[in-house]
Chain A
Amino acid sequence: MRKFSLRALILPALAFALSMVFGGLLISLSDSNVLHKAGHPLAFLKAAGASAGNAYLALFQGSVFDPGLAKPGQWWLSLAPLSETLVGAAPLILAGLSVALAFRAGLFNIGAQGQFIFGAIGASYVGFHFHMPIGIHLIVAALVGIVFGSIWGGLVGLLKARTGAHEVIVTIMLNYIALYFLQWLLGTTTFLIPGRNDPIAPPVLNSARLPLLAGSDFRVNAGILVALAAAVFVWWLLNRTTLGFKFRAAGANTFASKTAGISVPFVMTSAMAVAGALAGLAGAVHVLGDNFQLTSGVAGNFGFDAITVALLGRAKPLGTVLASLLFGALGAGASAMQAKTNTPIDIVLVIQALVVLFIAAPDVVKSIFRLKNLKTAGGLVSKGWNG
């Protein structure tokens, strides 16, 4: 069992720094105030720096700390953006863990999105349809979300184990099926609010909602604790259990695993079932903690961002948590940045995309920072393709 090392963080940190630099260039070059000064080099540079600086300041204020939100005697209100970051990060951590766990077992789970949707459906239905005591209701709703996601994920593993169908193709198709199933479901009488016909499910009852963590001034809820607990669980599963050993062995070398008597079909099915359970829990946490009402867009981009954070976190639980917090912050800060400085929200997407690009092409980062001896775990991105 190898020890955690700080060196593993160097590459992602540099990739992020580099992306921020490129993002800053884009921000200043898309600012008309800056471009007007193109004839005067000094003024141009000053304006460019100010433009990027203001945008990033707004990004920070929108995601971590904004003194402008404080009221007399209530300084802590300036922490509201941090609460938003955590609300967004919780489902992302869970979905990211789903992708990361599958990666470690040698499977590329593109299907977190579909598993997320099924988890959300299950949790939402239990949450609004049944009446149960407080606490128990929440647990049952979350469990049903986990089971739904697990079935949708396990199906992928089973198909791969039995027929050799490639999980990337299967998960992409199952994502579509999940999305259209959700859209159909929202039109059925069970999921319509009585007297209305817009495709929005009834809100989850209070007894099934995740409790708030910091009072009614903040939206941050117990979902973030669930996500952190899940990260610890995934670490334990991978490093301290025989099942996790099988996952890692089959993920690293199928041939040697087979030769040593490990059943690779069993690994495929069970790893995808656990991955699906995590993504399903992500959907449940989103519905029970933040969204409350099931809509066709409930999954947003969580299932796909999950792939990004798992890559950025190098398929390790701690890395995935850190990457998800970063993406949660970028997501929360983006709208504040647009509102305050007129910087397009898309810049955040560009920064996210650049981070992925630099992680996927570590040689670029290494040559820019002249790091020759930094070892990188290559092949993560292509792992799942080995069939």
Chain B
Amino acid sequence: MSLELRGITKRFGALVANDSIDLRVERGEIHAILGENGAGKSTLMNIVYGLLTPDAGEILVNDSPVSIKEPSDALAAGIGMVHQHFMLVPVFTVAENIVLGHEKSKRNGTLDLDQVRADIKRVSDEFGFEVNPDDLVEELPVGVQQRVEIIRALIYDAQVLILDEPTAVLTPQETDELLKIMQKLADKGTSIIFITHKLREVKLVADKITIIRRGKVVGSAEPSASQDELASLMVGRAVQLNPEKAAHTIGDVVLAVKDLVIKDHSGRDIVKDISFDVRAGEVLAIAGVQGNGQSELAQAMINLEEFVSGSITLAGQEIVGKSVKESLRAGIAFVPESRELDGLISSFSIAENFILDRHDLAPYAKGISLFPKVVDEHAVKDAAEFDVRLQSVNDPISSLSGGNKQKVVLARELSRPVKLIVASQPTRGLDVGSIEFVHERILAERDEGRAVLLFSTELDEVLALADRIAVMYRGEILATVPSTVTAQELGLLMAGVVHA
């Protein structure tokens, strides 16, 4: 089945989210839609799936116009969607989740799951999904949960499948498996709309690429185009994807972690007896799949973890046992994993977010008095230095884009006198332009002789920034490798596979 969009336009107030977009997806085609955050990809797909109604334009299925007012219309027209955040009930089984909304009763009034079990087995066998209908969804790995969503779409006869940022939550191995599944589906005639901003994946599976920028289709490309070309189309200017690393001079040990054990509230070991050093002028990347203890390890660097034993020294000074404030002021910059939750206070102004850590220091305060004017003046200066795009420093921080928010966090953390920078997932959810900025900034700090401890689940980021890479798996450092390692080797290590 083919799907065509003609002149789709959607406005939110003064903002034109989609500006007369044309798009054609053929049967059995994997059509990648590439664009930065906020380019209008999600709006467009929500229109196709009936979650939003367009202000103008029409949708054609097999060359005849259809009216899609809500998701049930989309399903009836053969359009299915797998959302970035799964729409599954965690405490239900796979079969129960799939039957949801289409429940049938047996004669005695109980829920009839036999039909759906058979359907799951059929689809599962056909595509090699290996999904058991009676498993609880919450006990399944993320990659399998995603397959449950795909099976649901297929069982209800989706012939066009929209995948919204499907690899954002997957490990490198799961990503590879998903890409294979997509290829198989396309071979059997399902059309796939693949929304993403990851260039490598696009080049691997897409038959056709459409690039959207600021609500408009700015071009299409063949998968043979280079990553730099695609990135430039996406951002609208030339982009340096792999920042140039200057030769660096490695200095003394700045951070020394010795025999570190972190436990959770129930006394289980989250981080098991880890030791490593980071030297001045060096980036050590801790790579690993989410949930292998890196988050806790990062938090422990400024004493945000409760149950820690072992030793962390910063330029010879013991950190463990200090307060968070003392750790920060000892010379650690901390870029937290979740900037929305841990890095910023969304109801505070931009200026106030600049002083979260130093509101009680001169020149912002004297004794108990706080000087809002001084706070504002410094915020204006810092925002300019870090290229934060804003209208007024008194606007709430929530009015900024993700990239600009992260710049505020970086500006705050790097404007203290620091010896060590701890950065967790510093580019998660950012657009290409902001990623470039953050990467350059981190390397600039390294070149100036600071030690950098980078936590990342992104292979590309680790390879682009690190001088050495330590791979964490189940709370331990599985291996420490030089940055010349290949992406494939690193991916295997992250999955816990060590070669003899």
Interface residues of A (CB under 8 A from B): 1-2, 239-246, 248-249, 252-253, 255-263
Contacts and interface: CB of A to CB of B under 8 A. Distances in A.
Contact of B370 (A2, A242, A256): A242
Interface in B303-348: 304, 323-329, 334, 336, 341-348
Interface in B335-386: 336, 341-349, 352, 355-357, 359-360, 365, 368-370, 372
Contact of A259 (B323, B342, B347): B342
Given A252-B347, A252-B348, A256-B344, A261 B372 contact: no
B324 A242 contact: no
Contacts of A1: 349, 372, 394
Interface of B: 302, 304, 323-329, 334, 336, 341-349, 352, 355-357, 359-360, 365, 368-370, 372, 394
Contacts of B344: 253, 256
A240 B364 CA distance: 11
23 contacts: A1-B372, A2-B349, A2-B394, A239-B370, A240-B369, A242-B368, A242-B369, A252-B347, A252-B348, A253-B341, A253-B345, A253-B346, A253-B347, A256-B345, A256-B356, A259-B304, A259-B343, A260-B324, A260-B328, A261-B324, A261-B327, A261-B329, A262-B325
A242 B372 CA distance: 11
Contacts of B326: 261
B334 to A, nearest CB: 7
B345 A252 contact: yes
A188 to B, nearest CB: 40
A259 B334 contact: yes
A84 B92 CA distance: 61
B357 A261 contact: yes
A261 B328 contact: yes
A337 B336 CA distance: 59
A260 B394 contact: no
A253 B347 CA distance: 9
Contact of B341 (A239, A241, A256): A256
A244 B349 contact: no
Nearest to A373: B13
Contact of B368 (A243, A253, A255, A260): A243
Contacts of B359: 242, 245-246, 249
Contacts of A261: 302, 323-329, 357
A256 B357 CA distance: 10
Contact of B372 (A240, A246, A258, A262): A240
A251 to B, nearest CB: 9
B372 A239 contact: yes
A241 B370 contact: yes
Contacts of A255: 341-342
B356 A257 contact: yes
B405 to A, nearest CB: 12
Which of A256, A260, A263 has the most B CB atoms < 10 Å from its CB?
A260
B370 A240 contact: yes
Contacts of B304: 258-259
B391 to A, nearest CB: 14
Contacts of B360: 242
Contacts of A243: 368
Identify the 7 closest CB pairs spanning chains A and B, nearest first: A261-B325, A260-B356, A260-B357, A242-B360, A253-B345, A261-B324, A259-B342
Contacts of A241: 368-370
A242 B352 CA distance: 11
A245 B324 contact: no
Contacts of B324: 258-261
B370 A244 contact: yes
Contacts of B325: 261-263
Contacts of A260: 324, 328, 356-357
A256 B356 CA distance: 8
A243 B365 CA distance: 11
Contacts of A259: 302, 304, 324, 334, 336, 342-343
Which of A2, A245, A246, A263 has the most B CB atoms < 10 Å from its CB?
A245
Nearest to B336: A259
Contacts of B357: 260-261
A243 B370 CA distance: 9
Nearest to B372: A1
Given A1-B394, A242-B360, A249-B356, A257 B372 contact: no
Contacts of B368: 241-243
Given A258-B342, A259-B302, 19 more contacts: A239-B370, A240-B369, A241-B370, A242-B370, A249-B345, A249-B348, A252-B348, A253-B344, A256-B341, A256-B356, A258-B304, A259-B304, A259-B336, A260-B357, A261-B323, A261-B326, A261-B329, A261-B357, A263-B325
A344 to B, nearest CB: 42
A249 B356 CA distance: 8
A263 B341 contact: no
Nearest to A237: B368
A253 to B, nearest CB: 4
A242 B329 CA distance: 17
Which of A255, A256, A262 has the most B CB atoms < 10 Å from its CB?
A256
A243 to B, nearest CB: 6
Contacts of A253: 341, 344-347
Which of B341, B343, B370 has the most A CB atoms < 10 Å from its CB?
B370
Contacts of B352: 245
Contacts of B348: 248-249, 252
Contacts of A244: 370
Contacts of A256: 341-345, 356
Nearest to B343: A256
A261 B341 CA distance: 15
B421 to A, nearest CB: 15
A260 B325 CA distance: 7
A262 B343 CA distance: 13
Contacts of B369: 240-242
Contacts of B394: 1-2
Nearest to A250: B345
A289 to B, nearest CB: 29
A256 B368 CA distance: 21
Nearest to A3: B394
Contacts of B370: 239-242, 244-245
A178 B441 CA distance: 58
A232 B336 CA distance: 37
A171 B323 CA distance: 29
Nearest to B328: A261
A255 B334 CA distance: 14
A241 B325 CA distance: 19
Contacts of A240: 369-370, 372
A239 B348 CA distance: 12
A245 B351 CA distance: 12
A183 B119 CA distance: 71
A257 B324 CA distance: 10
B265 to A, nearest CB: 12
Nearest to B361: A242
A256 B346 CA distance: 10
Contacts of B355: 245
A249 B342 CA distance: 12
